[in-house]
Structure 1
Amino acid sequence: MEGVVHKEFLEQRQTVNSERYISTLQALKLRLRRVRCDKDSILQHDNARPHTSRQTQDALRQLDLTTLPHPAYSPDLAPSYYYLFPQPKNYMYLKGHHYDNDEEVIADVRRWCRAQPSEFFADGVRQLVKRWRLCVDRNGDYVEK
């Protein structure tokens, strides 16, 4: 709830498959060990194939990462969908800015993440709790209808 623990940027035209996602999970686990006690961390990811593959599920068990179940057809439960990614679009450096290369974009995104107070991230988690409750109350139906 206090901030971004781990971030990675893909090269252009690179896609996320199970192998790539497992590599990210391994890096995340190492980062959690370094920056905070990972026993209280819960990973939330959606039902994309790289997240649900047998290899990924095996890796999650091996890494001892606790995951929050994600109802099918509910992309609006991902904080990146409803909270995190829309925010930088309004960030004064990103909005309407043309970048000459990927490194400039990455630097601005990192700058934006560091500039957010811990309350910003805590608010995103609180909104997630509300959305989960709505989803459960609606038997897994979309939150934003």
Structure 2
Amino acid sequence: MQSMQYRHKNSPAPKKFKVVASARKVLLTIFWDMEGIVHIEFLGQGTTMNSERYVSTLRALKGGLRRVRQDKVKDVVIQHDNARPHTSRQTQCALQQLELPTIPHPPYSPDLAPSDFFLFPLLKKHLKGNHYETDAGVEADVRSWCRSQTPEFFADGMRKLLQSWRLCVGRDGGYVEKS
């Protein structure tokens, strides 16, 4: 590569910058309602979210619902997007078995997932500029931030979801821009 650089014979050698490994990503799966977080988990490094993994998450969610919303377990309706792990036959069977009904998600409407248009942008804003030595550090900060949010914060996200759904229904399931 050095021979490909244009320079004079007496020019100093170009500075080489130390290559730093890029930041690893941590995948967060979170279920929340108007009162707060119901279930939160992080996907381990090198693990892929597939139907089998998502079914395991749904089982953990059902246990979390029994612990934190024992009086409202029967009132729960899941809203998730059309990602393959969410729509697979294995997942659909598990949702039936666990008695977790879902709201159908219109195709091509990514802005109807409240975690995407409400929760994650605010969480990313909180995390921006922070540097973590380990994945556990990121996870601890995310959990701490989630616990610090009030029920009114989560209720606001659900109100925004209602607004987005009304727009979507008004457009016969058409794409809804971010509000």
Specify the TM-score bucket, using the shorter chain as the normaliser.
over 0.9
After the TM superposition, which residues 17-36 of structure 1 pair with which residues of structure 2 at under 5 Å, given as runs?
A: 17-36=50-69
Residue of 132, 147, 155 corresponding to 1:122: 155
**RMSD between aligned residues:** 1.0
Q: What is the alpha-carbon distance in structure 2 between the residues aligned to residue 20 and residue 104 of structure 1?
A: 23
Shifted more, 100-109 versus 33-42: the winner is 33-42
Unaligned runs of 5+ in 2: 1-33
Secondary structure at 1:21 match in 2: helix
Structure 2 residue 51 is matched with structure 1 residue 51: no
State the match for 1:96 in structure 2: 129
Aligned residues: 143
1:8 to 32, 41, 58: 41
Q: Distance in 2 between matches of 1:79 and 1:140?
A: 16
Unaligned runs of 5+ in 1: none
CA distance in 1, matches of 2:45, 2:143: 18
Three-state SS of the structure 2 residue aligned to 1:14 is: coil
Provide, for residues 90-121 of structure 1, a one-character-per-residue CA deviation record: whole Å limited to 9, x for no partner: 22xx2201111100000000000000000000
What are the Cα deviations for residues 25-82 of structure 1, in whole angstroms up to 9, with x where unaligned? 0000111111112111111100101100111100000000011111011111001110
Going by fraction, where is helix more abundant, 1 or 2? 1
In our comparison, the structure showing a higher alpha carbon Rg is 2
Give secondary structure in 2 for the equivalent of 1:15. Answer: coil
Q: Which runs of 4+ in 1 moved over 6 A?
A: none
Task: Please point out which of 161, 165, 168 is paired with 1:132.
Answer: 165
- The residue type paired with residue 48 of structure 2 is T
Identity %: 68
1:72-87 alignment runs, 5 A limit: 72-87=107-122
Cα distance in 2, alignment partners of residues 49 and 144 from structure 1: 23
More displaced 10-residue stretch of structure 1: 98-107 or 9-18: 9-18
Distance 1:83 1:58 in 2: 29
Find the aligned partners of 2:65 and 2:101 in 1 and give their Cα distance. Answer: 12
Question: Normalized against structure 1, the TM-score is what?
Answer: 0.95
2:138 maps to which of 84, 105, 109: 105
Work out which structure has the larger RCO, using CA pairs closer than 8 Å and 6 or more positions apart in sequence: 1
